[in-house]
Amino acid sequence: MGYPLIDVALANGLAIMIAAYVFGDISGGVVNPAVTLGGAIAGKIGWKDAGLYMIAQVGGGIAAGYVLLVVLGGSAGHLGATTINTSLVSVSGGFILEAMGTFFLTTTALYTAMSGRAGNAAPLAIGFTLVMAVTFMGPLTGASLNPARTLGPAVAGVYFPHIWVYLVAPPSFSPRLGPFIVPTPPRSAGSGSIVKYYGYLLESLHEYRIHHTGAAWRDRVGG
């Protein structure tokens, strides 16, 4: 189709932002099972509700895939299925990107919408986090960050390359899962502390990287 990457990124981010604004007071407006899982682990969503949300999210994703199949009259372009672009990144590299992208998306949701710290600006923060992720990761992995988004076109179009990456990577780095525990900022931090929290988060990631991987990681990413 040849759409500019920024158009695709904005379409994704604005869709999530609108969903959060419209349905936020009903269900939280969460359409991502990985974010729901992170919210449940953090105690922001009850486990019973989380289970129902995830069933609805996956079912909605698959239903949307079949709607696309009907609208397009076939599985043109594999219905937008997400795959690893192995000419640009390895499968393991794609796994790390999807995991880390979901990590940042989930922490943004946790410390804005789910914590009540950002007020009406929370959907903006979540939407533009996704815009940044798609802008960076889109050509490499499709920037799914959402198992339900991947399952929809995969099931409807019967197209499953690298499907395990998109099912395992997002929840593996949800806050308080993954290879390290996300440090929680002080409760006294207000809505104006989002930038400081990201600095805090990135500093923690840097310390984890140095402690667990040392020069090997630095050599690989050029850090």
Stated length of the chain: 223
Q: What is the mean pLDDT of the chain?
A: 79
Model's pTM, two decimal places?
0.76
The backbone torsions φ and ψ at residue 108, rounded to the nearest 5 degrees and listed phi first, read -60, -45
The secondary structure of 17-64, three-state, reads: HHHHHHHHHHHCCCCCHHHHHHHHHCCCCCHHHHHHHHHHHHHHHHHH
Residue at 105 is within a domain: yes
Tell me: the pLDDT tens digits for 10-45?
999 999 999 888 887 777 788 999 999 888 888 888
In a domain, 215, yes or no: no
Classify residue 195: in a domain, yes or no.
no
Please state the domain count of the chain. Answer: 1
**105 has a pLDDT exceeding 80:** yes
Confidence band for 214, pLDDT divided at 50, 70 and 90: very low
Amino acid identity for residue 13 in this structure: G
Residue 117 burial by CB count (10 A; 0-12/13-18/19+): exposed, middle or buried?
A: buried
Residue 6 contacts by C-beta under 8 Å, 6 or more apart in sequence? 135
Q: Which long-range contacts (CB under 8 A, 24 or more apart) does 183-191 make?
A: 185/111, 189/117, 190/117, 191/117, 191/118, 191/119, 191/121
Question: Per residue in 68-99, pLDDT tens?
Answer: 999 988 877 888 899 999 999 999 999 999 99
Dist. CA 96–CA 92, nearest whole Å: 6
Burial 33-63 (b: 16+ CB within 10 A, else e): bbbbbbbbbbebbeeeebeebbebbbeebbe
Own/partner contacts of 53-56, CB < 8 Å, gap of 24 or more, are 53/27
Residue 142 lies in a domain: yes
Q: What angle do CA 116, 118, 122 make, to 5 degrees?
A: 95
State what percent of residues in the chain have pLDDT above 90: 41
- 71 within a domain of the structure (yes/no): yes
Confidence of residue 203 (pLDDT cuts 50, 70, 90): low
**Given a cut of 50, is residue 111 above it in pLDDT?**
yes
Count the Cβ atoms, other than its own, within 10 Å of residue 219: 10
Task: Note down the domain range covering 138.
Answer: 5-178
Q: Does 223 reside within a domain? A: no
CATH number for 91: 1.20.1080.10
- Asked if residue 108 is part of any domain, the answer here is yes
Phi, psi values for residue 192, rounded to 5°: -85, 5
Q: Among 19-23, 50-54, 131-135, 180-184, where is mean pLDDT lowest?
A: 180-184
Asked if residue 209 belongs to a domain, the reply is no
